[in-house]
Amino acid sequence: MRGGAGKHQGPMGVKNESIASRQRRFEHIAMPHSRSLLRMALRLANCAWAAEDLVQQALLQAWRGFDGFHDGTDARAWLFRILLNAFYAQGRKLRTAPTVIQLTVHDEEATSHPGSTAAFQAITVVQAFRALSLEHRTVLHLSVVEGFRCREIAGILSVPFGTVMSRLSRARQALRDQIAGGTKKLCESGVAAGSKKRR
């Protein structure tokens, strides 16, 4: 019986070790991408608390499925796929959540220097981006902000390559339309504010 107990403890010790090393590997591979994940989640959920929950959920799911991850493959793309799957799984709830518009650092700088052209352009672009559809925001964020290639985006979103190309093209066009509309509005409000001051 004693021998049996000893044998039982041996494999458990090894198993504990492997869990610890698995945890270290996870820390090394997945955790560094949490900021990127949160940025993406903020674009998806449009609400800080929901985005944070989403990232947590994604990290936990990544941990559970970490055995399926192969070293040397793109961890970032893998994590983004998990994040998007988690979002679509509870998407309806998140999409109907009230939209909380946050001022970014860039916005703060822009509002503190309202006269600068760069600030004006940044505000316009960010506001135009927020007005886009979820589909367009997602694909633009993955391509422009995260720098994924169209093939990688196709893998992340589980859609054909051609779909990504056309979606990106439409998203860019929609962004430009929004910018044009936003610029017009901003110019009009600026003119209105100027005329009020003059009076």
Could you say whether residue 90 binds another protein (CB under 8 A)?
no
**Closer to another protein at the Cβ: 105 or 194?**
105
Selected range binding another protein among 83-91, 92-100, 170-178, 187-195, rule: CB under 8 A: 170-178
Could you say whether residue 64 binds another protein (CB under 8 A)?
yes
Pick from 118, 116, 29, 39: which is nearest to 78 by CA? 29
How far from 126 is each of 100, 130, 131, 162, 175, CA to CA, in Å?
A: 14, 6, 9, 27, 10
- Stretch 105-134 residues interacting with another protein (CB under 8 A): 105-107, 109, 121-122, 125-126, 129
The residue from 15, 24, 25, 113 that contacts another protein (CB under 8 A) is 15
Selected range binding another protein among 19-27, 76-84, 89-97, 185-193, rule: CB under 8 A: 19-27
Could you say whether residue 38 binds another protein (CB under 8 A)?
yes
CA atoms within 13 A on the CB side of 194: 7
Q: Between the CA atoms of 140, 145, 148 and 153, what dihedral angle is there, to the nearest 10 degrees?
A: -30
Would you give the binding string for another protein spanning residues 138-167, x where CB under 8 A is met? --xx-xxx-x-xxx-------------x--
Q: Which residues bind another protein (CB under 8 A)?
A: 12, 15-16, 19, 23, 26, 31, 34-35, 37-39, 42-43, 52, 55-56, 59-60, 63-64, 104-107, 109, 121-122, 125-126, 129, 140-141, 143-145, 147, 149-151, 165, 168-169, 172, 175-176, 179
